[in-house]
Every structure is written in structure tokens, then in C-alpha cells.
Chain A
Amino acid sequence: MEFFLQLLINGISIGFLYGLAALGFVMIFKSSSVLNFAHGELVAIGAFLFLTLVTSAKIPVLLAFPLTLAGTFALGFLIERVFLRPLIGESLIFVIMLTLGLASMFKGIMLFVWGGNLYMFPDFLPSWLSFRGAGIYVPPVYVLSTAVGLVFLVLFGFFFKYSSQGIYMRSVADNQPAALSLGVNVRRVFALSWAIAALVAAMSGIVLGIINGINVHDLTSIGMKVFPVVILGGLESIGGAILGGLIIGLLETFTGGYLSPSLRDVIPYAVLVVILLVRPYGLFGLVEIERV
């Protein structure tokens, strides 16, 4: 029973991280229907930026964290400005190819700067964040990831429902010409969605880095893990991204715990196939019915 509870809690906190990573992916897809293959790289860049600020520049953690978020926000903005804006109006396949190119470029730069080693953050999380009781022990980082996941879920829910920028984003996702005719600044919406996506990706990168250590290859592979998560939850759904993340996270930890650690990475994809057979549009995706 204690083993089960421990796995459950680990699964939930890992799941929130996957959900958080997927959230950024969904933001971009929602506003511009672009599948961002460079998402794992954004996750890794966030973690490395934080690492450099904390270890090399010796900036206190509480300051380094907002600095990292601001930096990645700016990076997302820049990516949209420099690489994606010239492609507005071009066929979607070009844009998707471009994100593939961005992925290898960023990965190359990171390998060049930091190499393929495994780094560790200094231990900075206070121990009062941990939880002990009922025979289980939850390390502080798992409490942190759950909290961060919940906070961002609520923040984004409010952002999309009530803020005018959030409403603009939804209108652009729904019908771009209509949004244009109402005077929505579509370019700004695209830029903002990339910036926010990079920010949440960095966020999940930092926390994942605390759990597993920081390594270019490990962190960028999260970009691939995002696919089962978002397809499971439905490509356009924020809530679906979080729930998909939780399901994948739980599946992983339970397979690792009860079956075999080597099956961990396979099971999510197997379940993905089954779910797509039953609900091809994901759990919360838009069911598109077109009259012919």
C-alpha cells in the first residue's frame, strides 16, 4: 500500500511537469496550428540558463528564477520575430520544417556551450517543502512540481477566460480571418504565444532538472514525450494537456514500479495507440464535424 501511494504521488508530480511542458506546446498549436518540434529544446534551454545563472554567475536562486523566466520569455518572442514571422501566410509544412531546423540548431548550440555532461543543481530547496507521513516520503522537489503545475493551470485558465489577450488568442485559434476583421493584432498574438510557451517550457525544464539532473539529450527528449501527452489530452485543450500529462506520468511510474523500469518509455506510446483508436481526437480535443 505504501509503495502504491509513493508511486501515485511521484506519478502525479512528474505528470504535472509533463503537463506543464505540454501546455506550452498547446499554446502554440492553439494560436497558430503549428506543431513545435523544438519544444524539448526550449525545455532544455530554460534549465541550462537557470544552471548558469545559479552556478557560474552565483546569482541567488530567488532572483535567478524570475531572470530565467524573463530570459526565456524574450527568447520565445525573438524566435517568433526572427524565424516565424517571415513565414506568416506560407504553407504550414514550411513552418513545421522550420521548427525541426530550430530544434537541431538549439541542440547544437547547447552541446557546444555546455557539452553532453550531466549537471546537478546545488541543493537549494528548503526541507520544509517535503512531506513525510503515512509511511511515505515526498521529496521537496515533487511537492514543488505539483504546486507549480497547479498554480500555472489556474493562472492559464484565468488568462484564457478573462484577459483580453487570452480572448484574442482564442479568437485567432478559432477563426483567423474573423479575428482580423475585428481588429485583433494577430502578429502580437503569435509572438505572445511563443513567448509564453518558452516560459512554461523553461519552468518545467528547471523542475525536471532538479529531479533528474540536467543533460541536453535527456531534457530535449521531453519534446518527444510531449506528443503522447497532447494527443492524449487533445491538441487544443489546456486542461487536456495537464490531464494527459498526469496520465502519462502515472503510467510511467506505475510501469516502472510494478513491471520493469525498462518498459517505462514504451507503455505511454502503447496506451496512446489504444486511446487514439477509441477517441481519435484525444480526450478533450475538438471534434471537427464538417458538413459536406
Chain B
Amino acid sequence: MKLSALGRKEGQDILKNKIYLVVILVQVFILLGTFGLAIASSIASDPTLLDHYGATSVLKVGVPDSIHNTQLEADLLKQNLNLTYYKNISTAQNLLGTTLVAVVFVNPPGGQNVTVKTDTSNVFYPVVSTKINKAVSEYQLQNKLVSSGLNTTEINRIMNPVNLQVVNLNENHHANIALDSPYFVEIMYGFIVPFILLLPFFLASNIVTDSIVGERERKTFEVLLMTPISSSMIMLGKTLPILFFSLIQSVVWIILLDLLRVPIYNPILMFVILFFMGLGFIGLGILLSMFVDSTKEANSAITIILVFATFILFMPLFIKTSYFTPILNFIPTVIMVKIASTPNININVIFSAVPTILISLMIFVFTVRYFRRERAIRL
């Protein structure tokens, strides 16, 4: 009863605070913004998707007029490149880096040797480069084979010696993903999903310091300690509303991601991981609150801790180190990536979450015990 009264009061304090509500709104913008960026960059970097969405007009390649009706022109057009013809190729070369992504010409005119000039700083450079490389390689090989007197069947056999057939299974349960692109899947599940789902817990650490240090600043903490509630109950009453507030946000983000067609698999397991990570974050927040004198000091200290937490949690997703590989499997964000992206999770992944759960529990229990002993009063 006392616990629920304290919990209700803490919950109301959170919901009445405009800044926390603004931060929720900011998180929605972050989620939608990162999703939009992931979609745009996936399309811009994937030749198949650019072809699929008919956005090849941006792949502007300058060619000389003399290329008309040649094998090279046919090979370039086969790659859906937007060819712009110039009487004088030096005009095209001057436009490289502004209007054109690349310039392709035969050197000397009428000969067979091809010169390709590309602007690597262009957004579409990777796609244009892939397409041009494919076109000129085919042109080069075809020219070589034709000049050696081989027939069409022989040429085709040499040009396509490896055939790959793709067979899709489990079509009835097709993954409802917004963009069937490897880049999109890797960036969404490999970074954005854990980042978005952990954002509410970063905020939670700030709320917890505000909740404890704020009470001390307002001189109401002593009154709270004098009420007939045990220290453990005070801790639970203060932490549970914050934990649920953060968990509810994460669940909403999971639903929103599902609506955006980035399905989060194993949501219950994800909820359990987030619950324990939340306990760890809140435990750290409480521990910190016991060592500082003012909200300003607490905010600065929590920011330092969050910077380090971000480093520990997110850098392993981007650093390639062979000797850290065994440790990487136990990093919470790596586990979150595997849980969120795999429809049928391997039991080993669940076991690899055990250290995260134990460390988080230990932080929280240590904090509660320390609070019971010190009662967080610094005179």
C-alpha cells in the first residue's frame, strides 16, 4: 500500500514534468529520422534498388557523341545508366563533380581502349562505379572473345561460367521488412534498433538522479526517510515507476518499428533484457545520487557515465577486432541485435545474456544495500 502510494507519487512527478514529455517527442523524431535516413542511404547505395525504384536518372554519365550504336554504349545502357552525350568530351570532363558522376570515353576516338573518370565524392559514386565496372568488363571480355573468333555459345559460356539460382523457402511467412536490402537490414538491426530501444534507459538515469537529488535539494528526502517505509521500499517506490516508464517507451518504440516494417523478433526476451539493463542503469543513477550534492552536479556526472556507457555498448558494433570476438558475444547490444533480428533464437544467445542480467542485478542490489546503510543523507 505504502509502496504503491510512493510509486503513484513518483509516476505523477514524471508525467507532470514537461521536459520528460519533450524528450519522448524528441525520441519519436530520432526514430523516424534514423529510419528515413536508413531507407534513403540504402536506396542510394544499392544498384538493384535504384533500378527497382526507377531512380536511375541521377546516375549521370557523360559520354562522347561518337559512342552512338557501339558495343560500349549498349553495355552502359544495359546497366541503366543515364548517358548524356557531348560533342566535345572535355566539356563533359569539366562537368565531372558537379553535373556528372562519371565520364566514359574511348581513347583515342574510334579505338577500343576505354577511359573512365569518376568523382568519388558523389553520393551515387559506389553505384555508378559498380555499374560502369560491370559494363566495361563485359565490353573488354566481349571484344577479346569476338576478336579471337569464338561463336556466340562459346562467348556466353565464358562470360557466365558461374550461375547462381536463388530459391526462397518459407514464402508463407515472408519477413515483413520495409526494404529487402542488406545495407538496410544491417544498419537497422545492427545499430538503430538497439540504439532506439536503449534511449529511454539513458533518460531513466537522469530521472532517477533528479528524483533523489531533487528531493534532497527540496529538503523533502529527510521527511521521506522518516516515514514508516523501509529503505528497500523507498528504493523500489522510486525506481519501479522510472523503470516502467522507460520500459513502456521501449515497448512503444518496438510497436512503432513494427508499424514501420522493421519487425522486432522475440519481444518477450527483448523485454527481459531491457528490464535488467534498466535495473542496471537505474542502479548506477542511484549510486551516483548518493555521492553528489546538487542536481547540476548529478547531471554532469550522469552525462559522463552515459558517454562511457555509449562507448562500451555501441563501439563493439563497429570495431573489427579478432581477439575481442569471444567477449563481443556477451555485450548487451550485440545480444539485442541477435534477438531482434532472428525469428528462431538460438539457446546459446539466451545463455550469453546471463552475464548482463547478473551484472545489472548486482549493481542494483549493491546500490540498494548501500542506500540502506548510508540512507543517502550527506550533511
A and B pair up: no
Q: Which residues of A contact B (CB under 8 A)?
A: none
